[in-house]
Chains A and B, each alone.
Chain A
Amino acid sequence: MTDYYRTIKEIIFALVIVFTFTTLVLLAAGAPPFEAYYHIFKGALGSWIRFSHVIKTWIPLTLCACGLLYTFRINLWNIGIEGQMMMGAVFTTACLRFGLESPVQPLFLWFSFAAGITGGAIWAFGAGFLKTKGGVNEIFAGLGLNFVAQGIILWLIFGPWKRPGVASMSGTEIFPHTMWLPHLTSIRLSPVGLGLVTLALVITALMLRYTRIGLYLKAIGNNPNAARIFGIKRAKYMLIAMLFAGGFAGLAGSLQVTGVYHRLLPAISSNYGYLALLVVMLANYNIWLAPFIAFFFACLNVGSIQLPMVLQLDSSLSGVIQGSLVLAALAVHAWRTFRKDNSHRGIE
């Protein structure tokens, strides 16, 4: 229980840093800070439509966060999650395009989830393979693959999958309604997306707490040398962790295509993968805090869209807030390890 309190304390601490800093920036820019916060709040939660936008952001963020819990557990920095999400979207689009001619289009909608998971997992396996067999740091491998994935998307949009007649940044042609994720018009949300996120959270919690895989990931992450003496294969479990991360990211990409945009866009991943890294770190790698942090981030993202219109503020304010959140998260992270080291020294 004390762990929860400590984590919540740290989050509050980070938020205080962020808001102090942002307030100073707003004051320097001559904007009224509290009004700006009010508009962010209103922009995110002021109406059902806006709230449904927040949830649409929250879904991929939380899915990616679930995936990252596996890789962080084994001490891997899966920054390639962004690319994994993109490849999930690419595979999903490919699957749907294949199904366009088919008489059972809705069936392909379901296949496309499997395709998305596969796409993300393949991309993650690539980074994991380079790490375990080639000794390439997973951060470099992941970043490299992110660029490759982005390149593939652009090539597809402007090449083989371009809209008849025009090829533009607005993406591929929109799929017919039969291939959209069914959503309830009353709340403008898809119960399937929400269901999948809930399922992902439950599965991840069970995996990490009750299975050997979860235990081994933690053991290797905390002490690879000792884990080896216990007879655990490090490379195997690194690949497993990457596959899970890639799978969840791929599913997030899949939902972006089927549930949000209904086509493939260059910005299909919307940096949610990178953002999810911060979500998980701020949540102190705790699965039950992660969805709440993700929700907060989603509110910020959606809420700040309003700012240029109502306050004539540049929309880059959201960038400032997110940037300072990055720094605050890193500060909290450093603070925690520093304190942990000190308490270790205390024992010896």
Chain B
Amino acid sequence: MRIELQNIHKHYGMIKANNGVNLTIEPGTIHGILGENGAGKSTLMKILAGFCNQTSGTILLDKKAVTYLNPAQASTYGIGMLYQDPFDFPLLTVLDNFMTGLAHGLKNKKKRFKKLFLEYSKNLKFHLNLDTQVKNLTIGERQQLEIIRLLALGIQVLILDEPTTGISSIQKEVLFTALIKLASEGRSIILVSHKLEDVEALCHSVTVLRQGKVSGKMNAPFNTEKLLKMMFETLPASPSRLKNIPGKKIIHLDGISVKGGRTGLKDCTIKIRQKEIVGLAGLEGSGQGVFLRAAAGLTNPYRGRIHVQDSELSGMDYRIYRDRGISFLPGSRLEEGLITGLSITEHYALKKKHGEFFVKWRNVEKNSARGIDLFRIKGSIESQVEELSGGNQQRLLLSLLPPDPLLLLLENPTRGLDMESMLWVWEHLQRYCESDTGIVFSSSELDEILMFADRVLVFFNGRIIKNLKTDQTDIHTLGRAIAGKN
């Protein structure tokens, strides 16, 4: 089936996730969609799969304009999507999962579906035990199950969203072989990825998105340099980086491995010093969040040691890290950072040292008013945090940080902020470093890391694969590293 997307727009309020995208995919090909986080790839694919509707624009299937309202309708047109976390029923067996949505009526059709399943898996060289419960499968195996289920539904267009994140290299090979096979049978495969390596290995053609628009197209064989240029906009590096000389060691992570997130964190050894600003780069969910939480003492590593200054804190409670001056600022503001239903003043009351029985509301209100003034938060002391805009929520979170921390661990501190707010935040953060604080922050913007960090750690699949001084690297080297290339 030939797919044409014409002038697709998708707006969420002021944000234009897709801003006039044109895309053509020929039948029997594997087409890659490349782009940074937030470039609009996932939105575009969700529109194609019927998961959400475009604001404007047309979808043509074999030159006929179609509209559908949900994924079920999309699948009747032969379009199916494999999500990052496949939707399945963990407690059912593989066979029962396969039959869900396919088998109708009261008759027991297990035998027939068993045969059907085995045919598909033989064709694709998948090896799945039909009687295993799905909760015992790896992500790679769940993907295989979902692919077979989609094929049995009769889909002709298969969309895969970051399919190689979190699966082993052997499973990746099996998956790629299967995809090539499916394309050779005349199906269209769309592969959404950050990873150049995967796209180059598999795709016949590639479309690159940047800020909701198509920034370039290319057919195989690919030129890596050109693709990187299409993916990352280059901004002139700002001179505003501090030239502090790092001081004494603050924290030493010694070979720690931590569970959590999509990838966990494996074998991480790193030292952070005073006055140092360290940026964490990598695809979202490559281990940066786990790293920050482990360094903050929120999750305990199952292997390795953590030293803070001269004492070992491995396995100790988060509050001990906190008392030592380690502050963590989570990326999801309303989920982990702030408490909905509580006012700004109540947040200031939470920040204060515990121990007293009564809250001294008058003092807290004074502090809160001072904070609002100092951090230019648009809101009053009575405002509930969910009434604030994202930028003001971030300012509030920053204003709640202690005045003289040892180490600040910031998860995406400027995400969703406009340029002016971002610069304001950094001005504020740099002031910390003048007084011996170390800062570690994650960001999906390489420009930001190059602009403000002294050192950059690149995460890939739960490992730190690069540890570079920012003045000894550039956006292309980092872009390559992020995509898993050396």
Contact = CB atoms under 8 A, between A and B. Distances in A.
Interface of A: 210-213, 215-216, 218-219, 222-223, 225-232, 344, 347
Nearest to A227: B339
Contacts of A222: 339-342
A223 B341 CA distance: 9
Contacts of A215: 346, 349-350, 359
A347 B342 contact: no
Given A219-B342, A226-B338, A228-B318, A210 B358 contact: yes
Contacts, number: 65
Interface string B328-342: 101000011111111
Contact of B341 (A212, A218, A232, A347): A218
Given A229-B330, A230-B350, A218 B342 contact: yes
A213 B350 CA distance: 11
Interface residues on B, range: 20 to 34
10 contacts: A215-B346, A215-B359, A216-B350, A219-B350, A225-B335, A226-B336, A226-B338, A229-B330, A230-B351, A231-B318
Interface string B387-430: 10000000000000000000000000000000000000000000
Contacts of B358: 210-212
B87 interface: no
B342 A344 contact: no
A226 B356 CA distance: 21
A80 B336 CA distance: 30
A223 B358 CA distance: 22
A222 B387 CA distance: 15
B328 A229 contact: yes
A117 to B, nearest CB: 20
A232 B319 CA distance: 9
Given A215-B350, A223-B336, A229-B328, 12 more contacts: A212-B349, A216-B350, A218-B341, A218-B342, A218-B346, A219-B346, A222-B341, A223-B339, A226-B335, A226-B336, A227-B350, A232-B350
Nearest to A232: B350
B63 interface: no
B337 A226 contact: yes
A216 B349 CA distance: 10
A222 B341 CA distance: 7
Contacts of B386: 344, 347
A90 B443 CA distance: 60
Contacts of B64: none
Contact of A210 (B341, B350, B361): B361
Contacts of B346: 215, 218-219
A294 B175 CA distance: 64
A118 to B, nearest CB: 22
Nearest to A218: B342
A129 B328 CA distance: 30
B252 interface: no
A230 B298 CA distance: 11
Interface string B346-367: 1001110010111101000000
Given A218-B341, A223-B339, A231 B354 contact: yes
B362 to A, nearest CB: 11
